[in-house]
Structure 1
Amino acid sequence: NLKTFLFTFYSLQKIAVILCSFSLIEITATPEITTAAAETTTLTTTVSTTAATTTPWTAPAIFYPFGAKAGDIEILENGGDTYYHVVFSTPFTYFGRTYNSIYVNNNGLLTFNYSLPETNPYPFPAYGAVDYIAPLLTDLDDLGIGIYSYQEYTSGSVLTRATQDINQYFPGRDFTASWVFVATWDYVRTWDMNVFNQHSGPAITVQAVLISDGGFSYILIHYGDCAGIPAAVGAGYDTKGSTDYYQIHYDPYGGYSIPNLKNTTNVGVPGRWAFLVNNGSETVIGVQMKLQSFSNLAQRENSDAVLQIIKQELIKYGVSSKFELKLRKLQKINP
């Protein structure tokens, strides 16, 4: 037991000494002062400034010059039913009737007999009492701000251009234009003048060109951007009693189909239509046409469709629209 005691004691003594030693040690704690150098970060911000550029709006190349830069007389339309009566310097003959003036109406309509700024579109033939040309007859003034303008030409580059166009589409007459009248409707579906001036909103831009050499008379109708609209629309031309007429487009339920007008044509140029509206003293006595078809013309619906195409081609070259074509004989010459 003594051994055990001594061991225990020794152990306790050792522990005591150790404890005592620890108690005699003066521990001086000197706090470590850490000086943090202030780190200054300079934030450099690079501001990239992009100047906003606005590309001036231009009409399609098929359009004849128009607007203030071309010297047009312009009428600002901002929700009213307006028109302008224009007296010609040279008479214009329209399907046998000679006119010395025309009414340029705000609603995309040219009339020869009287103004029609509030008329609604209707399908052709209308059998009415007025001769008119309708590039796009609709309630343009209720859709936004617009300018309709006009100008008459008796010399210069516009006559040269008209001469070239007519000889291209109606060859064989050696035509030389001596008079041109251009009317244009340029509307934007907005009531904000800034949007209108920048032409940055949905737009409707159409044009009619009247061309004459004193005997033959022609019209060109041009379509640019035509935004869809919630109003009935009609396009083409008609005459008193509808002795002559042509319907380019008609939609009584809303003009949401008119954006495609800029892709339509009867002369192979998208957005352009051309018509002979007075053939002078010339009488059409016959026509020769070459026809190729992949359809079975022995079927009635196919032959009727071809006859309608031929009829529209004859109308284009000045034949009165009041006639019907009937197929008398069909002969198959190729297997």
Structure 2
Amino acid sequence: MKTMLPVTSSLLLVLISVFKHGSAESHDVLYPYGTDQGDKKNPVEDDGTSGEIPLSIEFQFFGKNYKSLHVNNNGVISFNTAVSQYTPDAFPLTNGETFVTPFWGDVDNDLGGTVYYRESTDPSLLQQISEDMEKHLPDLHYKATWAFIATWDKVAYYGSASKKVNTFQAVLTSDSYHYIAILNYGDIQWTTGTASEGDAYTGLGGIPAQAGFNSGDDTHYFNIPGSRTNEVLNIQSTSNVNHSGRWVFEVDDFKVPGGCIFQAKFAAEGEEFWREDVCGTKCTCQGGKVSCADEACPESATCEASGSFFTCKTKEKTCL
């Protein structure tokens, strides 16, 4: 029985205000899943796991190759060991933990929902992934040869006194040269279980879910904007590839399309921001790279938090 919270790191970021939103509805992002697709099911168990799943290929993640993984009920794919922790820590975690986390929160599939997974070389699935990558990463000329799909379908949260459920998916795929992770978000209705100080009736508050990647060191990690804040509830309407509810990453040599990574935070292409709370250094994301220069807010503006970074906001004049 859950009686106390694990130790957590300090909050890293909040949702940035500039995203590339797509016109597609979030339900369009999910690849086919379920027993009719050949999926296996995780145990119906609070904080449960699939156990170690051998892979037919070596999947490259942050420069290391992995031949197996675990699908954990609490919204984590892990490469080294199973993860039963239910309250998410802020990335980076530096003790060797290697995670792909579409939505690390306190799932309780005993109260509702199913966790599915499968490894696949099905031609129709690979063709669908290849066509999507042609839209999202046209310069890569990507033709999928392998995929692993994990889907958390209509899963409830621990301590739930409501009917709120979440549906999300993580896809690992390779063309034998490149290694890609796709995080897909269907309907997201809750952020937090009661053992993480969430509200039983709303599924909100407390320490919300974490989404992103962790390589096990203090350098190679990424937090999807909104992670461990209430704004993670809106993750189904955000994207880095102009397709609402989908985030796509190259994870062999880590790259995030659609913008820049700056201090493990996402800045959209063309975004201008200040990197500190005194607004003394202005930065711009251009061509996937961030350039910064000394520049302060004008006297007519104030320095205010704006998502992951800061912005100069012009003071409003009061008319008498």
Which category of TM-score, normalised to the shorter sequence, fits these structures?
Answer: 0.5 to 0.7
* Counterpart-to-counterpart distance in 1, 2:226 and 2:29: 23
1:131 to 68, 91, 98: 98
**What's the secondary structure of 2:58's corresponding residue?**
strand
Q: Which residue of 2 aligns with 1:8?
A: none
Instruction: Compute the RMSD of aligned alpha carbons.
Output: 3.4
Contact 1:223/1:261, CA 8 A, preserved across alignment: yes
Summarize the Cα distance change of 1:203–1:172 in structure 2 as closer, same or farther, 3 Å threshold.
Answer: same
> Residue 304 of structure 1 aligns to which amino acid in structure 2?
K
Decide which of 229, 241, 259 is 1:267's aligned counterpart: 241
Check 1:184–1:241 CA distance in 2 against 1; reply closer, same or farther (3 A cut). Answer: same
Q: Which residue of 1 aligns with 2:170?
A: 208
Matched with 1:224 is 186
Higher-Rg structure is 1
Contact 1:143 1:190 in 2 (8 A): no
Q: Which amino acid aligns with 2:91?
A: F
Q: Which ranges in structure 2 are unaligned for 5 or more consecutive residues?
A: 1-25, 193-197, 199-205, 255-268, 296-320
Counterpart selection for 2:282 from 276, 281, 304: 304
Pairs within 5 Å for 1:236-315: 236-249=212-225, 252=228, 256-279=230-253, 301=279, 304-306=282-284, 309-310=285-286, 313=288
One-letter amino acid matched to 1:244: H
TM-score, normalized by length of structure 1? 0.62
Q: Distance in 2 between matches of 1:190 and 1:104?
A: 17
Residues 234 and 249 in structure 1, CA contact (< 8 A), matched pair in contact too:
no
Q: Which amino acid letter does the alignment assign opposite residue 37 of structure 2?
A: A
Greater length-normalized contact order (CA 8 Å, ≥ 6 residues apart):
2
Partner of 1:175: 142
Q: Is the 8 A contact 1:122 1:250 kept in 2?
A: no
Using the TM superposition, name which of 210-219 and 118-127 deviates more.
Answer: 118-127
Distance in 2, matches of 1:62 and 1:293, equals 26
1:190, distance to aligned residue in structure 2 (A): 8.1
The equivalent residue for 1:36 is: none
Matched letter for residue 270 of structure 1: S
> Could you tell me how far apart the structure 1 residues matched to 2:271 and 2:47 are?
50
Matched residue type, 1:276? E
1:148 matched to 2:122? The reply is no
- Report the residue type matching 1:211 in the other structure: T
* Matched residue type, 2:181: I
Residue type at the aligned position of 1:212? S
Letter in 2 for 1:167: E
Q: For 1:247, give the aligned amino acid.
A: N
Q: CA contact under 8 A between 1:71 and 1:151: conserved in structure 2?
A: yes
1:245 Cα deviation from its structure 2 partner = 1.3
TM-score w.r.t. length of structure 2: 0.65
| Bigger fraction of residues in helix | 1
Aligned to 1:64: 31
- Offset of residue 226 of structure 1: 1.4
Q: Report sequence identity in percent.
A: 28
Deviation at 1:76, TM superposition (A): 4.4
Q: What is the Cα deviation at residue 163 of structure 1?
A: 1.2
In the alignment of these two chains, the number of paired residues is: 238
Residue 71 (structure 1) shift: 1.6
Instruction: Classify 1:256/1:168 alpha carbon distance in 2 versus 1 (closer, same or farther; 3 Å).
Output: same
Question: Once the 2 structures are TM-superposed, how far is the Cα of residue 137 of structure 1 from its aligned partner?
Answer: 0.5
Paired residues of 1:177 and 1:213 also in contact (CA < 8 A): yes
Structure 1 residue matching 2:240: 3-state secondary structure: coil
Q: Once the 2 structures are TM-superposed, how far is the Cα of residue 305 of structure 1 from its aligned partner?
A: 4.8
Instruction: Return closer, same or farther for 1:164/1:105 CA change in 2, 3 Å cut-off.
Output: same
| CA shift for structure 1 position 130 | 1.8
Cα distance change of structure 1 residues 238 and 273 upon mapping to structure 2, 3 Å threshold? same
Question: Displacement, 1:153?
Answer: 1.2
8 Å contact from structure 2 (residues 102, 183) kept in 1:
yes
Contact 2:272 2:282 in 1 (8 A): no
